[in-house]
Structure 1
């Protein structure tokens, strides 16, 4: 394509797209008194960007990772696969197993210091990574670029054990990802929950975790040498939260037809309230619309349903709701999807994937939390709860 910079080598004549992963962006560098040019001068060859070539060849899709940072794709491994995979991921763990792990030496920023490390990533095709419908990508060039998008799974973890109340626990910490480091805890005898499992709970620094009857604050993490500090909290229970078992705040909601409401009001005469965080720009959300319509039709007597669209403008939401006969309460959360600045309800409830489903009982207690991959499990939960 005509957008390929001239300093790259080993680019095939096929239709291609060069993407990149920026491990340390300019804003973070400024916090420690520099920019990429400054660090190139002071640290030698600053390796904070990973480039990847993506395209089609002989009827298949391919990608090449510039693992040695020389901007020459001819000396790197050529990964070829069926181009249908970019639009069809049935089960994420098995899907990721199709693509090789790549070890890359990179420079990272942690605790306001630059250090060099080796990361392990697996790249995979994901045409819906930026999930905008076709009407926002009207020309063939932009549509092609979207189809060639790649996502990255980071597979670097620290692992450790600790004892509290005479019970042994294990913790795994991702060394790097697009978001801040997160932690997964488990009892020594158990296995770590699989990706997209309903039992999987991710925590970040300053979160509160309950271990048996005790609560701890994740106080800090240190990378050199690796250590994690947990602070015991002298409390009996949390006031509000965003995890299963927590009590949700009674948020004020902006209705798309100026019919403002709250969670508690929408629970009136209902046994459960299903909250659907979605957007008209979200293709996985749109694919589940018929299932939500059917769910509302079958269980609407005892199940309250509220869909909260994360959008800048209310008109596309009104149009989509009307066309698809989504006859339940709809609200709008005004903001820019995928931006760093998040509205309060999105931040408070830690909404990071779309769609995300949260179910509240009549006391505003979170009794279920999942995403689009857990839709069947959610349906089974609702059926079992309402038929008890």
Structure 2
């Protein structure tokens, strides 16, 4: 990007919840937690959850595209340009596609999936999507985002990028803001159950063609060909939402991030637990979505809803025993049965391998292709040598060929129980059942099959070692 083409002021934080007094949570059935916006660079989720594309609908919805482009004011004169958009609510978007003649009435009604309560408001909705002009002038790519959603680009900032920026720039997966990308305050509206919510988000938006992770999806679902993809942009939500509250006198913290309130990731964890902000595998222990059930300080809650403007999170107190809730998270009992194959190709379950009652079970998810996994095998062998008579050791290989795995385990004298999951056919197996997404992942169960600890890599194996040593009263050499 050319120097001096724009100026940006980063807000350190709109609100910083940990400086506020935590909200007191009582035993009411429905509890509203007030959320504050933050732009602190100290909380992350997987980028795919917050990165969304702006793209042109010129090919797939030509009537709608033409009407949209003609309705905008302040469109600049460039060598070439395209109107690129990102839909934020499907209801009013589908209504406009129908009224432009790009989809039939039947298709419109089908895609509403029976949610007709807000259709009267869809006709007047104007700010249900984000729009931008993306174009080229000489050796530069020009980007203008209609940040205030008023249908006029003349009052918005013009950002200038080098023409090749779109094919080369890659955003760090562990940063929500950078000096090389414009940070823009965006305004839009969401209609829900007869009410219109005004939403304000801070977003990083930039040209992205060959590096756009959505290329395959856009080309197939929206007929975005290579030429049209040159105008595509990528958008990353920067600000997230925070709160703190107490249950049974103990403080808990909430962080919420996502581009859509319905699919946002909700992290609820005790204040006493800390971890590296890039340790997304460990963060899974505290990560939820709306309608998930969460155990918070030994009380059970339904994560009932999140308002479309991200200002309130609602929890519903449930009168059920925490041990009846099954999950892949720390503090929960695992849900049985969990499936995989033996190295000889016979279907098996985890329960069949837990042979020693009233003791711990250590599960190691690994693969012969995984260098960090193989580097930690000597540590597991040492643990097995010390505690093999007291603890169940189970290694589940996520790999291509069980014969290769079996040969490897024999060569390296891995004398404990083993299982196999085909990495090209993981559906219905222990891998998705326990939400294993990175390797090596270690899960330590107690005698009731409750997860004591889970995490990825050597750091978490060391923590598991310490738990085992404390349990069996041994001292690390």
Same fold (TM over 0.5): yes
Could you tell me how far apart the structure 1 residues matched to 2:205 and 2:324 are? 39
Could you tell me how far apart the structure 2 residues matched to 1:77 and 1:366 are? 52
Structure 2 counterpart of 1:180: 263
Gaps of 5+ in 2: 1-55, 59-64, 70-74, 92-109, 385-392, 410-418, 470-475
Match of 1:359 among 410, 423, 442: 442
- The 5 A counterparts of 1:306-385 are 306-308=396-398, 329-331=420-422, 349=434, 354-355=437-438, 358-361=441-444, 363=446, 364-369=449-454, 375=457, 377-378=459-460
- The 5 A counterparts of 1:111-126 are 111=193, 113-123=195-205
Structure 2 counterpart of 1:210: 295
Structure 2 counterpart of 1:263: 350
Could you tell me how far apart the structure 2 residues matched to 1:332 and 1:51 are? 40
CA 1:193/1:209 → structure 2, altered by over 3 Å: closer, same or farther?
farther
| SS of equivalent residue, structure 2 residue 295 | strand
TM-score by length of structure 1 reads 0.60
Q: What CA RMSD, in Å, does the superposition of the two structures yield over aligned residues?
A: 5.6
1:257 Cα deviation (Å)?
A: 8.5
1:155 equivalent to 2:236? Answer no
> Any idea what the Cα deviations from partners look like across 1:258-299, whole Å, max 9, x if unmatched?
5433334567899632336x9xxxxxxxxx944256347645
| SS of equivalent residue, structure 2 residue 200 | strand
1:252 equivalent to 2:349? Answer no
TM-score by length of structure 2 reads 0.51
1:92 Cα deviation (Å)?
A: 0.4
Could you tell me how far apart the structure 2 residues matched to 1:245 and 1:255 are? 28
Match of 2:128 among 39, 45, 48: 48
- The 5 A counterparts of 1:185-204 are 185=268, 194=277, 196=279, 198=282, 201-204=286-289
1:358 Cα deviation (Å)?
A: 4.1
> Any idea what the Cα deviations from partners look like across 1:345-385, whole Å, max 9, x if unmatched?
6775457xx54764223655445545xxx646456557777
Could you tell me how far apart the structure 2 residues matched to 1:260 and 1:238 are? 27
Structure 1 counterpart of 2:326: 240
CA 1:142/1:152 → structure 2, altered by over 3 Å: closer, same or farther?
same
CA 1:185/1:267 → structure 2, altered by over 3 Å: closer, same or farther?
same
Decide whether the 8 Å contact of 1:254 with 1:332 is kept in 2: no
Could you tell me how far apart the structure 2 residues matched to 1:98 and 1:357 are? 34
Q: When the two structures are aligned, how many residues end up with a matched partner? A: 344
Decide whether the 8 Å contact of 2:147 with 2:156 is kept in 1: no
Structure 1 counterpart of 2:190: 108
Could you tell me how far apart the structure 2 residues matched to 1:306 and 1:143 are? 45
1:171 Cα deviation (Å)?
A: 3.9
Tell which deviates more after alignment, 377-386 or 95-104: 377-386
Could you tell me how far apart the structure 1 residues matched to 2:438 and 2:212 are? 13
Structure 2 counterpart of 1:229: 315
Query: Who wins on radius of gyration, i.e. which is larger?
Result: 2
1:243 Cα deviation (Å)?
A: 0.8
| SS of equivalent residue, structure 1 residue 93 | coil
Give the structure, 1 or 2, with the largest relative contact order (CA under 8 Å, sep 6 or more): 2
